[in-house]
Amino acid sequence: MNLNHVWNIARKDFSGISQEKTILFAILLQLFIALFSSFLMVGLTAMYNPESLDDYGRVYYRVGYCGEDSPVLIRLNTDKTIIPFSMDLSTAVAALKERKLAAVLYVPKGHPDEQEPFSVTMYTLKNDIQAALIEMKLKEILLAEEKELRQARISRLSEIPVSAAFPPGASKTGFYEFIYGVLIPLLLFMPAFISAALIIDLITEEYEQQTLDTIRSTPVTMKELIAGKLLVTLLLVPAQAGMWLILLLLNGVFISHMVEILILVTAGSAVLILMGAIIALHYADRTKAQFIFSMVAVIIMLGIVSVPYNPLHIVAQLASGTILLYHGMIFLVILCVIILLTSLVIRMTDARETVS
């Protein structure tokens, strides 16, 4: 194999991609998804965690309290972010409708120390994102009340659970698992799918535009042609994945083991790209090849995420800096698959060579 020829083919295909500015779409797409993620982050966090908007001044919730006095009223009074108003239920609900209150609590007669359960009716606005906030706030207060009442009735419990005191903030919802366990692995493997779709296009195009014969009339062999195409699609992966890493870093997401991640993502992508190449060589028609490949891709994705220590899982672990188990072995497995698929591609190109 003449490396010069391979390089020339890669250059030809790359200039084709950059000339059409198609790569621009890939970058735009990347930015769009980044925007999507920040929408998820900022938008949803703000929705569910009003403290994240604390820079906008202190937030106070006005809550109507109706019915019997109870320890809950004392809790509402001591909470710094809640301003309770004792009032009549009908007035309170009317005020709530006009958004002059954030929520209304109604406590019927019945003392908490009694045998009976302590029941509270909570009125909140339907169809409002912000109503969810006050619900979360009241949840904290009612949880504290539940804990105290449970403590008072402890003699009635037959089994006492192991106690564990959590630091403040543990009850909040974080996005750590979503970012490191879902977003990062999926985003980093997205270029792999793009590149695999690209190699199918590059190969089938030569068949359908009937440019294969033209290229074959030059000293370039079929093997070199495919190698060049594989090279250009493979090189795009670390470039795109690297851009993802930079975008994530700019968003303030710290990622450890970046070099290892890039190597792993590139190796994993090589498997997909080789599969794309095999399918494209077999069908020599874009519609068929893309159809079969999308099915294969869905199967691989589904199958892979349901097995522990899959490449996406390893990326999640690497990115979060977790103590790693078995990742060397996984890498070896991927390497074996790559070698296997490469030999298959070589055999297929050999077959094409002799046919023509």
Partner 1 sequence: MGTVAQVCTIAWWEIRRFFTTMNRGMLPAAIVLLVILLLVSGYAARSGVHLQDGLYDIGLTSDAYLPLFGGDDRFVVYRIPESESYFPPASYGLDLIIADGVVFPDETDKGRAAAQALYRTYERYLSSVYSNQEDIFAAYPVWIANEYITSELDFTATESGQRIGFNQPGQRGYPRPEQEVIPITPPQSTPDLSPEKVRETILASDTSDSALSRYSDLLSADYAEESYPYQTPAMLSPPLPFDTIIFIFVFIFPLYFTSQFLMMSVMHERTLRQGEPLIAAPVLRITVIIGKSLPYAIGMLVISSVLLVLTGGKITALLPLIPIILFFLSSALLIGMVSRSFRELSFISIFFSTIATAYLFFPSIFANIHVISLLSPVTLIVMDIQGTGYSAMDYLYSTALFYLTGGVMFYLGIVSFTEEHLFTQKKLVSKILDLITAAIHPTHPWGSVFFLTILSIPFVFMAQMMYLVLFFNLPMPFSLVAILVLAAATEEIVKSLLLMALFNHNPIGLSWPGVAIASVLIGLGFLLGEKLLLVITLSQITSSIFGSLLFQSASALWSPFLLHSMGIFCVAVAVKRYGNKGYIPGLFLAIMVHCIYNALIIRWALA
Asked if 172 and 139 touch (Cβ cutoff 8 Å), the reply is no
CB of 4 to partner 1, least distance (A): 24
CB of 346 to partner 1, least distance (A): 22
Contacts of 333 (CB under 8 A, 6+ apart): none
Amino acid making up residue 60: Y
307 near partner 1 (CB under 8 A): yes
180 near partner 1 (CB under 8 A): yes
Three-state SS across 305-321? HCCCCCHHHHHHHHHHC
Query: How many CB atoms lie under 10 A from the CB of residue 338?
Result: 16
Q: Which of residues 7-66 bind partner 1 (CB under 8 A)?
A: 16-17, 20-23, 25-26, 28-29, 32-33, 35-36, 39, 42-44, 46-48, 50, 53, 56, 59-64, 66
> Contact region for partner 1 (CB under 8 A) — 92-100, 243-251, 269-277, 331-339?
92-100
> Contact region for partner 1 (CB under 8 A) — 196-204, 240-248, 269-277, 329-337?
196-204
Q: Residue 78 or 219: which CB sits closer to partner 1? A: 78
CB of 154 to partner 1, least distance (A): 8
CB of 3 to partner 1, least distance (A): 24
Q: Residue 2 or 176: which CB sits closer to partner 1? A: 176
Structure tokens at 167: 């630091």
Rg (CA), the chain: 30
Q: Which of residues 93-112 bind partner 1 (CB under 8 A)?
A: 93-103, 106, 108-110, 112
| From candidates 7, 14, 175, 331, binder to partner 1 by CB under 8 A | 175
Alpha carbons 193 and 207: distance in angstroms, whole number: 22
| From candidates 6, 10, 75, 145, binder to partner 1 by CB under 8 A | 145
CB of 20 to partner 1, least distance (A): 5
DSSP annotation of 68: S
- Give one word for 99, left, alpha or beta, with left for phi > 0 and alpha for psi -120 to 50: left
The CA dihedral of 328, 329, 330, 335, to the nearest 10 degrees, is 90
